[in-house]
């Protein structure tokens, strides 16, 4: 029992942090690793997804009210296509989140209305289903598991 604790203490004292046994290897959680510099193209893609989310949210708001109930289904399908497409295009959950943020911002702005009483969303079940259904789809797409990486093994873990 004392040998096991002694070995752990010796490894920590030697600084063997990684699997390869090199001293000073960067391992641990994402909080302890040095940050990577963000790529300009990736940042531009995420900003473009926020704008595209706002466009789809605005178009869906207009379509769902114009052609009820077919417009509601079309608007929800377009939102789902945006969120899932953003997830697949960026291969990260952040892509789906960025498009959902733009979509939600457009929905919130359009739902407030104007002081004169004019608003895009009418009273009824259609706008409510569009807002809640779209948010549910966004959460589902943002919490989907990551896509399989190329070159990954097909075997079980640990075997």
pLDDT digits (tens, 9 = 90+) for 69-124: 888 899 999 999 999 999 988 888 888 999 999 999 999 888 887 777 677 777 77
| Residues whose CB is less than 8 angstroms from the CB of residue 95 and which lie 6 or more positions away in sequence, other chains included | 45, 46, 49, 86, 87, 89
Task: Tell whether omega for the bond before 69 is within 30 degrees of 0, i.e. cis.
Answer: yes
Angle at Cα 91 formed by Cα 20 and Cα 61, nearest 5°? Answer: 155
The residue among 144, 145, 128, 147 whose CA lies nearest residue 80 is 144
In eight-state DSSP terms, residue 149 is: P
- Among the ranges given (72-76, 129-133, 147-151), the one the predictor scored with the smallest mean pLDDT: 147-151
Q: What pLDDT, in 10s, does the model give residues 21-71?
A: 444 445 556 556 666 666 888 889 999 999 999 999 999 988 887 877 888
Residue 17: its pLDDT value, please? 46
Instruction: Give one word for 122, left, alpha or beta, with left for phi > 0 and alpha for psi -120 to 50.
Output: beta
């Amino acid at each position: 029992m004392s040998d096991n604790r002694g070995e752990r203490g010796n490894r920590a004292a030697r600084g063997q942090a990684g699997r390869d046994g090199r001293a000073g290897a960067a391992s641990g959680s994402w909080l302890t690793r040095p940050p990577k510099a963000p790529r300009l193209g990736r940042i531009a893609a995420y900003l473009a997804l926020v704008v595209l989310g706002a466009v789809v949210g605005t178009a869906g708001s207009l379509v769902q009210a114009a052609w009820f109930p077919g417009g509601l289904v079309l608007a929800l399908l377009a939102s789902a296509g945006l969120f899932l497409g953003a997830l697949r295009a960026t291969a990260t959950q952040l892509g789906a989140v960025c498009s959902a943020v733009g979509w939600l911002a457009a929905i919130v702005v359009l739902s407030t209305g104007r002081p004169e009483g004019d608003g895009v969303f009418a009273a009824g079940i259609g706008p409510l289903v569009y807002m809640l259904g779209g948010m549910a789809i966004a959460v589902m797409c943002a919490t989907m598991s990551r896509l399989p990486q190329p070159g990954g093994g097909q075997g079980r873990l640990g075997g």
